Structure 1
Amino acid sequence: MNQEALQRAIASLKFVDIFINESTSKLAEGFDPKFDVRSESLIFQTKNLVTSSAVIEGGEDEDSFILFRVTSELGIRIFCKDDKVTDTDEPDVLAMIEATMHADYEISDKSITEDQPALDEFALNNVSYHVWPYWREYVTSQLMRMNMPKVILPMFLRPSNQN
């Protein structure tokens, strides 16, 4: 990790917005979490990837803006820990939630837009700290709506493509 580049980006960027661009959630066909005994012994896998970033400029005069937008792909797959699998098989996915989230940052020093290494360091090393709490809440509420038992995600998970 390039700390100097990261500090340049931190000094120039202010978190202003986060939103879900796309999401999917589903239960496996024939799986009813309210009545299926497998609901009592669940495990999960997570996905956390920073997939892209861009500087966005727009507006006119007083309404002009310049943002740094970072896109993350997040997901959770839920399995029964008692499912028997071989080395070549994966267990059956009982439930799945995935989302693409955008985090927007106001740019206070426009010179940072020319400093791609600093923006890349920020995207890979800081954005997940901002996105993860919103993702955890989204997963919790979606699982409740799907009638799934509560799953406690870790407080933080570094992106798998982090430096």
Structure 2
Amino acid sequence: MAPELKSCVDNLEIQSVILKSLLVNLRDDVDAEVFDDECIEHPQEIRALKLIRQFQREEDDTWFYRLHTVIAIRFISEEDTKKDSGDDSIEPILEIRAEFVAQYESKCELSEEGLSLFGEKYVFYHVWPYWREILQSSCARLGVPPLMISPLRVS
């Protein structure tokens, strides 16, 4: 483990995870009553660190780090699988996308490199349970069968 990453792992303490934005969309021509396993044969997933913000509380020299993450899943038609994933003409059958902000506290200032490494690997461990809940509750509200995703494993 890189020393910068180890410093983050040893010093960052999770304070909160909040939902910053949410998109849930079932394509207009798909009704919940006919949503079945065929609709979820071609998933595309996104997991990305979007932004890192930091600030210091001067009275006690505590550092706060906010890591903005985006997690999304969408299901596309077989026809759309032939297109580049960034193609704007893709109309997902179902898309659920959430941005979370995980706030951490540290007693020392941490390097940008270490924070980026931490954000790419470890922040999702803290955000994942919230993502799973969003996914399950969104499916229930849409009236479609629940999507099963496994717990996140950090190696």
Q: Any gaps of 5 or more consecutive residues in structure 1? A: 159-163
CA contact (8 A) 1:132 1:157 kept: no
Residue 117 of structure 1 deviates from its aligned partner by: 1.9
Matched, 1:124 2:110: no
Q: What's 1:149 paired with? A: 145
Identity across matched positions, percent: 21
TM-score (norm 2): 0.81
Residue 156 of structure 1 deviates from its aligned partner by: 2.1
Separation in 2, partners of 1:86, 1:71:
29
Q: 2:109 aligns with which of 98, 108, 111?
A: 111
**How big is the alpha-carbon RMSD for the aligned residues of Structure 1 and Structure 2?**
2.6
Q: What's 1:161 paired with? A: none
State the secondary structure of the residue aligned to 1:111.
coil
Q: 2:72 aligns with which of 71, 75, 86?
A: 75
Q: Any gaps of 5 or more consecutive residues in structure 2? A: none
CA contact (8 A) 1:74 1:99 kept: yes
- The 1:89–1:50 alpha-carbon spacing in structure 2 relative to 1, beyond 3 Å, is closer
TM-score (norm 1): 0.77
CA contact (8 A) 1:48 1:157 kept: no
Residue 157 of structure 1 deviates from its aligned partner by: 7.3
Residue 22 of structure 1 deviates from its aligned partner by: 0.8
- The 1:70–1:101 alpha-carbon spacing in structure 2 relative to 1, beyond 3 Å, is same
Matched, 1:136 2:136: no
State the secondary structure of the residue aligned to 2:82.
coil
Separation in 1, partners of 2:81, 2:19:
36
Separation in 1, partners of 2:62, 2:19:
21
- The 1:88–1:124 alpha-carbon spacing in structure 2 relative to 1, beyond 3 Å, is closer
Separation in 1, partners of 2:14, 2:81:
45
CA contact (8 A) 2:52 2:68 kept: yes
Aligned residues: 148
